Structure 1
Amino acid sequence: MQIKKLPIEFVTARPILQTIEKAGYEAYFVGGSVRDTILQDNIHDVDIATSAYPSEIKALFPKTIDTGIKHGTVMILSGQNKYEVTTFRTESGYQDFRRPDKVTFVRSLAEDLKRRDFTVNALALKEDGTVVDLFNGLQDLKDHILRAVGKPEERFHEDALRMMRAIRFASKLDFTIEAATEAAIKHHAELLEKIAVERILVEFNKMMMGQKPVKGIRYFLETGLYAFCPQLNEQLPKLKRLLKIREDTHLKNENQVWLLMCRVLTISSNQSHHFLKAWKTSNELISAVSNGLDLFEAMDQNAVSEQILFQTGKTVIKDVLTVANVLPNAGNSDQLLDRYEALPIKNSHELKINGGILLKAHITTPGPQLGKLLAILLNKVLTGKIENKQPDLLLEAKKIVSED
């Protein structure tokens, strides 16, 4: 197979391959960018594999960075572009089920490709667009099949994260995992415990944001991988609710992923902090999900106030509405965005009064009462009981203090 029209990313990188080949070595585009080009999807990172050793690559190009020199990777700087070029290699000894204990540089493309995870990712592309397919990856692409290269048990022992990558690709590409590959995932699911939570989190998020998340979720549950993820071991009955989300679900960000997870697991705003910490998520995500769950709980009780809408903010309100749209019985979500847009202020900094003004006017003194007074004034503005004007707010503040 030859690709007649290469994506611009490959066209721009062709001089790199040509320079390497002119020096007598082999060089190919490899990995997901080749797969996605054949599938006519957008490509992202352009990875290059070569028979040239790192020292030989560095001798060919004036500007390089040793990004992963021990594993054979050199970054070539070409104008505004950066390309990671990795020497063909074999790997052995995976005591941590993630990284090889030994890397050996080789001159053989076949030796390099056979260590890769799935046949659809083991394709190589020459600079002229010719596809090198040593493991029937093109047929698997055509059939929408995800199949491990060689023996799946060996691939997953080499890198247990590949099991999560399998279900991620099933969701992302809408592929079916081949029977022997799926059986090996079931058999080795417990190896996932050997993998850092942060790495599992990345794959889980990508799976949930794929084009067919229900397919990925089904594999996640049926293979038993869920049991070796933080806080999920005893949650199978609730996790099965994920299979009932809309088939056309398309989550756009991590906030939506974890709002959905907390909803199906009936995790409250207060409980979400512990749950998300176990998954090693960011503090920003924890805060956003907590606010979103507060809004969901108010929706459940048909008691969404202006204060909750203000606290939640437009971005998270949109995330909540997206999740509500894929779940049955999500609560009353009508006009939430309209109500938010109608708020007199959207940010506490827009309040025409602050602690400094109140202190300067000698209305109150520093301490807890100052924060309490500002909160009362903010709520009165949000509910339309007073206009957001400094003279009005000062008068109201004096009134509140005198009544205490």
Structure 2
Amino acid sequence: MKIDIPHYVRGILDRLIDNGYEAYIVGGCIRDILLKKHPEDWDVTTSALPEEVIKIFNDKTVVNTGEKYGTVTVINGDGKVEVTTFRKEGDYSDGRHPDWVSFGNNIEDDLRRRDFTVNSMAWNPIKGIVDPFGGEEDIAKGTIRTVGNPLHRFSEDGLRMMRAVRFASNLNFTIVDETLEAIKYMAASIKNISMERIREEFFKIIVGTNPKYGLNLLLDTRLMDFILPELLITIGFQQNNPYHDMDVFHHTLCVLEKTPPVLHIRLAALFHDIGKPYCYTEDEEGIGHFYGHNKKSVQIAEQILKRLKSPNKLIRKVSILVEHHMRYYNSNERYEIKKLICEVGKDNIFDLLSLQKADAMCKNKEGLIDNAHNMEKTVKEIISNNEPLCLQDLAINGEDLMKSGLKPGIDMGKALNELLNMVIKNPELNNKETLLTIALNKWLSAKCNERF
């Protein structure tokens, strides 16, 4: 099989082989090549010891990124490649790291320690593909299977359970029964994994090609119970509302899969209605309502994201989108649309519109999708015209008003906000001379009259 690899990666393979060592590209890059995808990362495994690799590449930049585990990174102008010595491993007493590592000279022993068959293949130009555990066949079948006993693999590192879900959902593969049942049996052990590691795998599922499938797998395997228990209450929670024909959970999945694969938008989609079960009321006709659910959803979303030790900037972006996701306006409500742009910020408004369009596509409300698209057109027009939206967009400021005689304080703040409301409704008023004239006539004249 012909495998096309970048010249800098091939150069590393060739130099190791020319110096008398075995060397292979290995792991995920082989999987991606077989799936006709371009690998994002390239890994090489070799019989050379770390100090030997450093010596062989003494004309390159070589970084010691894990010498204890046999890994150094070779860097040149075209890219970087992790080069790891063949190794065997002991048990994983801490649930993450092997108790011991011994270096060897057998590629099959090295492949045996890896997590899934689809990641346990190697290739070099001499032997071609080395696949002792049937990874190529599992790729052809579209299946995820552990190398060896799944209970043993997951006891070594519980995060591998989430990795199985991630690979299955992002590749649209199925998890074989033995591996799936092992995840269900060991799901509770995910509690022993650090939140940071859980977060990274969870986020990769959320921004993947099939997040709906991924969440259903997390639910089926019981991993959801320990990763995102707050979502469980939405399952089967009927909305009893003519605009919704799905329960809260399935509506959420629908919105999630219709948003672009941008992390904060996908997370906002996941959490936008998570507060609904806590805000449910029925009117006299038995129709369900969820007043204030956006605020409750923000509260729960922030709680979850903080538990996952997410960056504050990400939490803020998600909160803004969740809080304002119900703010739909008709295209002729330019005043309200401008206020919304100012509240969420130009950096967030189009992300909010993406969420709103996805939400509209998952409701039964006639005209809502057209409304969302028309609102987007209006937003683009407002921004393109550079129409004033916020106080900083006014052609005058507090200093200008003070120079004209208005004293600083509450009155000045009220005056500026009233002027802003005027120019939001009538952008043509936004020039310094006009606004000062309005201010002089409206407030300064009034102040003068008060003195007499």
Q: TM-score band, normalised by the shorter chain? A: 0.7 to 0.9
Contact 2:150 2:182 in 1 (8 A): yes
Match of 1:268 among 289, 294, 308: 294
Is it true that 1:257 corresponds to 2:237 in the alignment?
no
TM-score normalised according to structure 1 size: 0.88
Aligned ranges 1:308-387 → 2 under 5 Å: 308-312=340-344, 313=346, 314-321=349-356, 323-324=358-359, 327-329=362-364, 333-343=372-382, 344-345=387-388, 349-365=392-408, 373-384=415-426, 387=429
Is it true that 1:87 corresponds to 2:85 in the alignment?
yes
The range that moved more, 142-151 or 72-81, is: 72-81
Partners of 1:318 and 1:182 in 2: how far apart?
A: 38
Partners of 2:415 and 2:126 in 1: how far apart?
A: 71
Contact 1:217 1:242 in 2 (8 A): no
TM-aligned CA deviation for residue 385 of structure 1: 6.7
CA distance 1:284–1:360, change in 2 (3 Å): farther
Is it true that 1:141 corresponds to 2:139 in the alignment?
yes
Partners of 2:34 and 2:209 in 1: how far apart?
A: 18
Contact 1:167 1:220 in 2 (8 A): yes
Match of 1:298 among 327, 332, 345: 327
Aligned residue identity for 1:122? S
In the alignment of these two chains, the number of paired residues is: 399
Q: Secondary structure at the match of 2:320?
A: helix
CA distance 1:154–1:12, change in 2 (3 Å): same
TM-aligned CA deviation for residue 124 of structure 1: 0.7
Aligned to 2:17: 21
Contact 1:31 1:122 in 2 (8 A): yes
Q: Deviations along 1:90-139, whole A, 9 cap, x unmatched? A: 22232332222322222221111111111001111114682111100001
Aligned to 2:188: 190
TM-aligned CA deviation for residue 329 of structure 1: 4.9
CA distance 1:356–1:372, change in 2 (3 Å): same
Contact 1:61 1:76 in 2 (8 A): yes
Contact 2:8 2:78 in 1 (8 A): no
Identity of aligned residues (%): 33
Is it true that 1:124 corresponds to 2:122 in the alignment?
yes
CA distance 1:384–1:106, change in 2 (3 Å): farther
Is it true that 1:51 corresponds to 2:32 in the alignment?
no
Q: Secondary structure at the match of 1:268?
A: helix
Partners of 1:172 and 1:391 in 2: how far apart?
A: 59
CA distance 1:389–1:180, change in 2 (3 Å): same
Contact 2:234 2:274 in 1 (8 A): no
Match of 1:394 among 416, 433, 436: 436
CA distance 1:268–1:25, change in 2 (3 Å): same
Q: Which runs of 5+ in 1 are unaligned?
A: none
Q: Secondary structure at the match of 1:65?
A: strand
* C-alpha RMSD over aligned residues: 3.0
Aligned residue identity for 1:268? N
TM-aligned CA deviation for residue 276 of structure 1: 2.5
Q: Which runs of 5+ in 2 are unaligned?
A: 238-247, 276-292, 448-452
Aligned to 1:162: 160
Partners of 1:91 and 1:322 in 2: how far apart?
A: 50
TM-aligned CA deviation for residue 381 of structure 1: 2.7
Aligned to 2:101: 103
Partners of 1:360 and 1:196 in 2: how far apart?
A: 58
TM-aligned CA deviation for residue 45 of structure 1: 0.8
Contact 1:364 1:401 in 2 (8 A): no
Q: Secondary structure at the match of 1:85?
A: strand
Partners of 2:340 and 2:421 in 1: how far apart?
A: 10
Aligned to 2:242: none
The range that moved more, 319-328 or 16-25, is: 319-328
Contact 2:325 2:355 in 1 (8 A): yes
TM-aligned CA deviation for residue 52 of structure 1: 1.0
Contact 2:118 2:144 in 1 (8 A): yes
Structure with greater Cα Rg: 2
TM-aligned CA deviation for residue 26 of structure 1: 1.1
Partners of 1:385 and 1:166 in 2: how far apart?
A: 55
CA distance 1:388–1:287, change in 2 (3 Å): farther
Q: Secondary structure at the match of 2:81?
A: strand
Aligned to 1:30: 26
Aligned residue identity for 1:333? A
Partners of 1:207 and 1:264 in 2: how far apart?
A: 19
Contact 2:29 2:39 in 1 (8 A): yes
Partners of 2:92 and 2:63 in 1: how far apart?
A: 27
CA distance 1:5–1:234, change in 2 (3 Å): closer
Q: Deviations along 1:36-57, whole A, 9 cap, x unmatched? A: 1110012101111111111111
Aligned residue identity for 1:319? S
TM-aligned CA deviation for residue 400 of structure 1: 6.3
Q: Deviations along 1:237-270, whole A, 9 cap, x unmatched? A: 2674268517964631111211111124136244
Aligned residue identity for 2:422? K
Q: Deviations along 1:322-349, whole A, 9 cap, x unmatched? A: 5325533586524121221233136765
Partners of 1:279 and 1:48 in 2: how far apart?
A: 32
TM-aligned CA deviation for residue 192 of structure 1: 1.2
